[in-house]
Structure 1
Amino acid sequence: MIISCNGWRQPQRRRHIILAGFALLVVVVTIHIGARVHGATTRPSEVIVVSSSASQPYQQVVEGFWKLIRQKWPKSRGVTYYLGADPKQNRQIMEEVASRQPDIFFTLGSKASQAIQAMHPQRPVVVTMVLDRGLLAATDQTTGVSLQFPARVHLRLLKRILPEVRHVHVLYDPAENVDMLARLKNEAAAFGVEIRGLAVESVTQLPAALKVVERQAEMLLGLADRTVYSGKTAKAVLLSTFRNRIPFAGLSRSWVKAGALYALERDYRDLGRQCGEMADRILAGTPVADIPPTSPERVRYVVNVRTAQHLRLSLRQAIIDGAAEVFE
């Protein structure tokens, strides 16, 4: 009887000991994990911003970025560097940045982005103010927001402003925009339009391409393209379309101010906010690979009423009222 009793009680005590030990282990692990998480969320994170320019749009992006970071990470440390025209000063900035090991970089523009990616290939980098989407995935630690709008965004606004248009000409350099042209063509049928691309591989081919546009185009849709649209070509493109009364969708506010009918435009502070959201996720522990490059979330547009009148177009009042800016 006693043996039987002892035989029952002994395993019972062992079970109690095992359960107690397991409970203690759970408590220890929980405390350890809690300490790690607490340390991760309270440790001052270091964020470094490097911008290729100090122009107003770039500064607005930086403002939007820091506003979000300060809200989400109030104890974070950070500094912003603006590259300029002085090579000596730029070298000094890069030497200082090379010695730093921040938790994350935020870079604006191709110059700053390429330099930081080469200098710190293992550090997370959020990139914006670039058109080349390749820079948004240059390393496995890079992501960001391109300035390029998706094809459907271009076509949606086009049909809102020019609902009767059926044939759309696009001048493009194949080295830069062959993929974008393909996306436009794939999306075009859903909007009831046909995309007609004219390849321009060098500036010397632009006059001939504009002649084709003058003879055949119902409208010209501009894409960000360093060969076709630049300070050197702007006058020729704007004069050709204006004189021949061809609606031209420009690349930005400055193109519309100079005579284009309309253009998509970015909200630069919101672009900074969007990049800040990406940086916030990375600082919180999300792998960069899980945050794919994307396009601007907030879409705005500007219109030129004077150009519309010259083209003998009547813009609906809703279009004018919805514009971020109207040139008259």
Structure 2
Amino acid sequence: MKRWGLLLVWAVLVPWVSSAQPVRPKVVVVKSSSLASYSSVVAGFSAEVHAEVSEVVLDDSAQAATRALQRIAAQKPALVLAIGPLAANSARRTLGKEVPVLFAMVPYYEKYGLEGPNLTGIALTSDFRPELAALKALSSSIKRVGILNDPRFSSGMVDAARAVAEPLGLSIVSLEMDGQAKLEKVLANAKDKVDAMLMVADKTVGNASVVQGLIAFSTANRLPLVGLTPSQVKEGATLALAPSPITIGQQAGRLANRIIHERVDPGALAVAQPEGLDLAVNLSAASKLGGSKDVVLELLRFAAKRDFPVRVFE
């Protein structure tokens, strides 16, 4: 008899316990494509966020992306994590104020206007401190760091770089251009006026042909060039300090928790600096630099002191 009584109590309590479980908020991850790096972002994000996560991979066309985001909006998720430029742009245009949007893995996010109400994200570039520190570690002869930039878009970044450079004993040389056609002249005038070059996330400078021209100039003049991404290092830049995708995902997960569970307005959050960086080094480019120091060895020492993982390109 006791046994049947216990079973009856269990049958009554189990549904009550189940119904008392809190419903996990739903988050949709929208990826611009199926890149492996985007999948790493999702892995890091899923490990940190306190929510049920689903994924959508967009087609290449903007129209198809808009339709996909409209379907997502109808589901009323607690948040959308938009990975890559297509996903971030489509989410910004389509979701509006209805669904909080957090973006990641968007190079040159400034040129897409990815700031506003109900929207924030994580930049792919830092505040220049680690990049300038890396140049300082390379050689004591580096004093003048050139920054190719369009002042219409990047005057604030140049000023920020100057503020960081001064305590390190470095000076910033602003190399201004307002169009691709002026690249050759600006770089020709910069010869013998800079000891290194630092790329910034500038709408004009971000053009692929401008990047190639900057790499060619730095190589010809045996100047270290700090790029923005590992892909630029693979193309010929000396080094880059870029966030690892899985670290970006973990950071995005923590931001999402603030937005979902603490009810923080995404629009009130500034676009975040990346928290963890990887060092990418081009061995061929580094070996062509002047000076008596082993540049690669100095970069490895720099990375070891800061616990930066290292990626090496030939």
TM range (shorter): 0.7 to 0.9
Shift of 1:137: 3.5
CA distance in 2, matches of 1:161, 1:215: 18
Please list the CA deviations of residues 55-110 of structure 1 after superposition, one character each: whole Å capped at 9, or x if unmatched: 232222122112222xx34xx2x321222324564354233223221111111234
1:99 paired residue among 71, 74, 99: 74
1:1-328 matches, within 5 Å, as: 42-69=22-49, 72-73=50-51, 76=52, 78-86=53-61, 89-120=64-95, 121-130=97-106, 131-132=108-109, 135=113, 137-139=115-117, 141-288=118-265, 291-313=269-291, 314-315=294-295, 317=297, 319-320=299-300, 322=303, 324-328=310-314
1:160/1:128 Cα in 2 relative to 1: closer, same or farther (>3 Å)?
same
User: Aligned partners of 2:140, 2:31: CA distance in 1, in Å?
Assistant: 39
Structure 2's unaligned 5+ residue stretches are 1-18, 304-308
CA drift of 1:305 comes to 2.7
Q: Deviations over 1:293-325 (max 9, x none)?
A: 311000221122322221234226352263611
Give the conservation status (yes or no) of the 8 Å contact 2:27–2:54: yes
How far the C-alpha of 1:291 sits from its partner, in A, is 4.6
* Alignment partner, residue 6 of structure 1: none
User: How large is the RMSD of aligned CA atoms in angstroms?
Assistant: 2.5
Shift in Å at residue 258 of structure 1? 2.2
Hey, what does 1:35 align to over in structure 2? Answer: none
Counterpart amino acid of residue 297 in structure 1: E
The answer to whether the 8 Å contact 2:124/2:242 transfers is no
Structure 1 residue 187: Cα displacement: 1.8
Seen in structure 2, the aligned counterparts of structure 1 residues 219 and 318 have a Cα distance that, compared at 3 Å, is closer
AA at the equivalent of 2:99 = R
Between Structure 1 and Structure 2, how many residues are aligned? Answer: 284
CA drift of 1:172 comes to 0.5
Secondary structure of the equivalent of 1:150? coil
1:146-190 CA-partner distances (Å, limit 9, x unpaired): 112113232222212334311111101123321111101122211
SS in structure 1 at match of 2:178: coil
Distance, in Å, in 2 between the alignment partners of 1:175 and 1:295 is 22
CA contact (8 A) 1:200 1:206 kept: yes
> Secondary structure at the residue paired with 1:81?
strand
Contact 2:227 2:233 in 1 (8 A): yes
> Do 1:213 and 1:220's aligned partners in 2 also have CA atoms closer than 8 Å?
no
Query: Identity across aligned pairs (percent)?
Result: 25
- TM-score if structure 1 supplies the norm length? 0.78
Give secondary structure in 2 for the equivalent of 1:137. Answer: coil
Gaps of 5+ in 1: 1-37
TM-score between both structures, scaled by the size of structure 2: 0.81
Give the letter aligned to residue 154 of structure 2.
N
- Whether the aligned pair in 1 keeps the contact of 2:283 and 2:296 (CA below 8 Å) is no
Larger radius of gyration between Structure 1 and Structure 2: 1
Give the 3 Å change call, closer, same or farther, for CA 257–296 of structure 1 in structure 2.
same
The Cα of 1:135 is off from its aligned counterpart by: 4.8
